[in-house]
Structure 1
Amino acid sequence: MRSDIEDFTTSSKIRDAAIELFGRNGFAQTTIRDIASAANVSPGLVIHHFASKAGLREACDRRVLGISSQLTVEKADVDALQKMMGEYLSHPEKYRAETAYIRQAIIDESALGDAFFGALVSMTEDMLDAGIKGGSIRELEDPRATAVVLASNSMGMLVLGRHVARSLGHDAYGVDTINRIGIPTMDLYTHPLYTDERFLNAARAVIAISDKSRER
């Protein structure tokens, strides 16, 4: 029993150190030795728990995606979303390592990076489904494609955070930037940007013609 608890604590310490370093330095640049040093363990112990750097990366993905999954579904509930936003804005440092990790995972051109984004899209689709069932989100023509658009917008904001902050006169992407874009983001999701359906109908017409031409 005691040995199992110690192993769990050690593996968690290694995993959390890896999340920190992967997010800060990138996956390719971070070595097993770097992670072992940060976790104050031997490189051999890292291999013992995770078999390889790829195995450790997968464990980090599962951890970060597990946290993100819970938060994503909660976004469909007003009270849960308000609580989540308040917690983040009050203690942004608690989410710094995970946020940096997600940024690196999105820009990482690898099979694991692809799988990570696919998981984020699926979680967003679950959020939309929960919102539709709960009455906070309207019925959608194509929930999967809508989930892709929303996930891309959110991750794009994260990846481009430095540029977003700079464009708004801030030194870095942080609470000040999030406070500035929070209302415009919710406003766009709550109220239509266009005053009628002319642009929507134009897009439908063009896409219908394109689909027909490809069928020939």
Structure 2
Amino acid sequence: MTERELALAQAFAALSANLEDRTEADYLRRVATTYTKVLQVELAVAVWAGPDQRLHPVTPMPQPSAELLEAVCGDSPAVDAYRSARPVRPALLTDLAGPWPAFIVLAHAAGYRAAAAVPLRHRDGVLGSVLLGASTESFPDPALSLARALADAAALGLAARRTLREHIDTNTHLRGDLQRRVMLQQAAGVLASVDQIAVADAVRVLHTWARRHHRPLEWVAAYVVAHRALPPAR
């Protein structure tokens, strides 16, 4: 295995190990860093779509100017790749009458002479895209093919991360519901024992007290379990 092949293997392995990153932004920053190292381009901006479908840029340090990042998410090859779910082939950043005039002006002023973009596709959806910028006008075709392969690996890692987060959120919600039910049953048992009433009646008493006094039911239940009595009326 050549040094180049080893670097590529390590890059794909790194993109699949996404759980070590604390946030999606951290993961996508690592994705962008991988692009700059593997493709040897001067600029890589990972653009991801939030729940509101707004695009957000993530890039390695040092970051480009805020104006350039805003243009990347406003009208650029990255936006075209995201919306079309297709790669945007390398384009020279010299024609101000081109499709992304604001982006071209800012990118050219920052020293970039060519740009391309690939979508982050997973199954039937597009999670974002990656913008690539080069300081020379030459942008070899093999680089775009490799960029697409890296984008597929990154999209898979990002989707896996989101699926895991959804499972964690669901389990946390279910665990909270179970804990509230257990607390309610404990409080109803305490109240039924103290007042010599049926458990079903004790549950109704707890609900009525919470509603009448504008208190969360779980707070009332916790008070009853701790003090073996309903809270004093305010």
TM-score, structure 1 normalization: 0.24
Structure 1 or 2: more helix by fraction: 1
TM-score, structure 2 normalization: 0.23
* Larger Rg, first or second structure (1 or 2): 2
Structure 1 or 2: more strand by fraction: 2
